[in-house]
Structure 1
Amino acid sequence: MFKGLGALGGLGDMSKMMKAAQEMQTKMAELQESLATTVVIGESGAGLVKARATAKGEVTGLDIDPSILVPTEKEVLEDLILAAIKDAQGRAATRSADEMRRLTEALGLPADMKLPF
């Protein structure tokens, strides 16, 4: 009557898979929370402009050295701000990728496995 369901041992494997999937989901949620509160700093102009961002890439602040606030240098300042933001976002992406790689390795998955994130 239950021939199509396979051996009962297969149900144990399914249970292990479900438990592993739940564990991975929990760890990914924890990682998401951690990335949202981890701050990275990008900079340009030898530190004259700094951009703060979360490890998820959300820019949260700027710090501009007052010595470069010269009206005739407006374009230079704009370029430095953009460069600092791009640097912060690049550092955020690197941090996020490093944390994801650690998580996948801890779960016994291939390090280059792409998980939805």
Structure 2
Amino acid sequence: MASPERSPSRVKPDMNKMLKQAQKMQADMARVQEELKDEMVEASAGGGAVLVAMSGDFRVLSVKIDPAAAEDVEMLQDLTAAAVNEAIRAAQQLADRKMSAITGAFGGMPGLM
């Protein structure tokens, strides 16, 4: 029978290993944040009347508007807001997907999750 000091629930985590894993994760997250600056998502509203391109770090890169949409200013404002909001959602999903590939390993660090 195993002694209480050696039972799996009492194993102390290797702090040096955990620190190295955390440092690697921090470096990987910084790398992904840099990569996101070069990623692009697009979103549209009004059947393509407004098209917004946004970087993975939430910078609006371009807004394209169908000239026919300019006839109704209120509708154009609504479509622009909708396209920007959709682009933000898409950029957030992209960032979440890339970061979860890194932080998903965090759950494997004993004693932290």
| TM tier relative to shorter chain | 0.7 to 0.9
Q: CA RMSD in A?
A: 1.9
In the TM superposition, what is the alpha-carbon distance from 1:17 to its structure 2 partner? 2.1
In the TM superposition, what is the alpha-carbon distance from 1:27 to its structure 2 partner? 0.2
Structure 2 match to 1:17: 18
**Match of 1:19, as an amino acid?**
K
Structure 2 match to 1:101: 100
Structure 2: runs of 5 or more not aligned: 1-11, 109-113
Structure 1 match to 2:42: 41
Distance in structure 2 (CA, Å) of the matches to 1:57 and 1:15: 36
Percent identical among aligned pairs is 33
> For residues 72-103 of structure 1, what are the alpha-carbon distances to aligned partners after superposition, in whole Å with 9 as ceiling and x for unaligned?
x1111111111110010011111111111111
Counterparts of 1:46-57 in structure 2, within 5 Å, are 46-57=47-58
Q: Give the length in aligned residue pairs.
A: 96
Distance in structure 2 (CA, Å) of the matches to 1:41 and 1:55: 10
Q: TM-score with structure 1 length normalisation?
A: 0.73
Secondary structure at the counterpart of residue 47 of structure 1: coil
**Match of 1:43, as an amino acid?**
S
**Match of 1:79, as an amino acid?**
D
Distance in structure 1 (CA, Å) of the matches to 2:103 and 2:15: 20
Secondary structure at the counterpart of residue 107 of structure 2: coil
Structure 1 match to 2:68: 67
Distance in structure 1 (CA, Å) of the matches to 2:54 and 2:39: 8
Distance in structure 1 (CA, Å) of the matches to 2:73 and 2:67: 13
In the TM superposition, what is the alpha-carbon distance from 1:109 to its structure 2 partner? 2.1
Secondary structure at the counterpart of residue 40 of structure 1: strand
Secondary structure at the counterpart of residue 47 of structure 2: coil
In the TM superposition, what is the alpha-carbon distance from 1:48 to its structure 2 partner? 1.2
Q: TM-score with structure 2 length normalisation?
A: 0.75
Structure 1: runs of 5 or more not aligned: 1-9, 112-117
